[in-house]
Amino acid sequence: MRTFFSIMSLMTLLFSGSPAAMAQSAPQASDLAELTWLTENDPAAALQTVDAALSEASGDTAADPRLIFDLNNLKADLLIRLGKQTEAAELLIGLAKYAIRHRNTLDVDPAPILATAAALFETQGNYRQAGQALTAKLEEQRDGGQGGAVLALTLEELARLSDLLSKPEDAQNYRTAAAKARDHTPVGPSRSDDKGFRAVDVYYATDRARTGKAEPSEFYGYGRGQLELGVATVTIPVDHTPGQVESPSIWRLEFGPSPAKHVVLQSVTPVETDVFYTQLQAEFDGTEKTEAFVFVHGYNVRFDQATKRAAQIAYDMEYGGVPIVYSWPSHGSTYSYVADTAVVQLSARRLSHFLDDLVDRSGATTIHIVAHSMGNRALTEALELMALRRGVQAGDPPVLGQVLFAAPDVDAGLFAEMIPTFRPLAQRLTLYASESDWALVTSRKLHGDAPRAGQGGEDTLAVPMIDSIDMSALGEDMLAHSYFADDANALADMMALFWQNAAPMLRCGLIEDRASQEAIPVWRYEPGSCFDQHLIDVLAMLRRLNVTSPEDIQAALAKTIQDAELRANLESVVMRIAGQ
């Protein structure tokens, strides 16, 4: 069956050891489209295909857990379509356990999986197993630091199942516990670290459709909806490791959420447009820095993941402005690449209007934008439309601050053609690329070997009007596709841009690697020379104090850094960034 070999070829891409090896066996977009077609039109054939793929993958010790998870998730969906509800429920229980074992790799909340399993068991009249699934769900929600209102919903479901099982005493106990959970004060928007965590409010815009589910991690799905605005609260532990989005471990919580060990999406609150901008403007009251940054996520990212990533970037940079995420309807699945490419362009038009409104109504005097992977398809088109509507010309005052294209999964030729149109919108354009980025190598093969704008090494794009930075040194595996947020060195470089609009030759760790035939420089990042986290802390402090003069920089460093050698090294780096 041809689709089986297409999946195997895709797995080879994800499991093999180098971009060169991947280039030999890449699938075509039509292969992935065929799997999508089979899933929708011939679920029995699709199920055979997925079973064969899983059977072969089970013997591969290098198999990526993300693909294994997605294939099993697809299998469960196919079983449901074929009316095999009990088999699907049992598979989902196993899948939830798999998600627990691979928390840090998958960043998947097992609770919704367990909820689906419980619902399937109930449809078959198996109330006992439904209750077991809901009990496991409740434990996950407690361990994940979810608020009382979320816990109460699960407790009420357990009470209802207890009634069906003719266990009135258990039902009453669950209802009493639900009432206590609802009365518990939820995590608020305070940024205090008294409880071992800090809450980060992330403003959001999304054209995802709501799922109708109460859990924050499942509030928005992958269906297309209309543009909706709101505020999400993410909690981050104070001992958080920069660059990481920690997932919960198994540790016991009662009704009081205390997410001091992992990053948790605590709440999602949609608001009307006028309220959104009124609240956003209020964020800048009494502050000198009226600044925000917008994060546009890439392929294979759910709403909750995008929101947590935006919060992590803001937290790790000790960002003094307001983080905003634009979340388009990515399926959040490795096998849905084709579906994601189809929807991202529609989102580009909505993103364009949102950015216009943000400039005109947010109250922010500086708005930076960071787009990742396929999200750059939405951003480049949005910026082009925005520039054309505004009629901007070279030399016009920029309406945006820094615009960073991280690992853009965009045709390199198209990207280069679009730059002159939207260049006047921003203070500076920066391209982060990598030759170690497996996802972009895969995308290149899916697009008929057309170069992608985010590929580095000898393929690093060198065109006028944009600074091209080869970040290949920061990663050699699948995680390299998120190097811009997973590495403190990359975050420090972003901070230098946000602080001083510093040109590449002034920033730490950037070396002019080569020049194109048109004498356009390409920069290469060399990690290990920038004191990474120390530099982030110093730049955050200087931004917070609004310090830019040499005298004030020296005075601030003298007050805060006791180690004379470290202070001298950081002073040299910071002075160069400041153009001194």
Q: What was the pLDDT predicted at 113?
A: 92
528-540 average pLDDT score? 78
The string of pLDDT tens digits covering residues 248-291 is: 332 222 333 344 556 788 899 999 999 999 999 999 987 777 89
Distance from C-alpha of 521 to C-alpha of 161, rounded to nearest angstrom:
66
pLDDT at 109: 82
- Look up residue 535 and give its two tokens: 């530099």
- Residue 5's pLDDT band, with cuts at 50, 70 and 90, is very low
Given a contact cutoff of 8 angstroms between Cβ atoms, the answer to whether 490 and 483 are in contact is: yes
Confidence at residue 106, expressed as pLDDT on a 0 to 100 scale: 77
Average pLDDT over residues 70-80: 91
Q: If you average pLDDT over residues 135-141, what whole number do you get?
A: 88
Residue 436 reports pLDDT greater than 50: yes
> What would you report as the CA-atom Rg of the chain, rounded to the nearest whole angstrom?
24
Token readout for 417 is 């053609």
Cα separation of 280 and 338, whole Å?
35
Helices and strands, number each (H, E), in the chain: 22, 11
In angstroms, the Cα distances linking 261 to 68, 236, 344, 470, 482 are 27, 8, 34, 34, 22
The CA-to-CA distance between both ends of the chain, in Å, stands at 65
In this prediction, residue 384 has a pLDDT band, given cuts at 50, 70 and 90, of very high
H or E element in which residue 229 lies? strand 220-237
Whether the pLDDT of residue 313 is over 50: the answer is yes
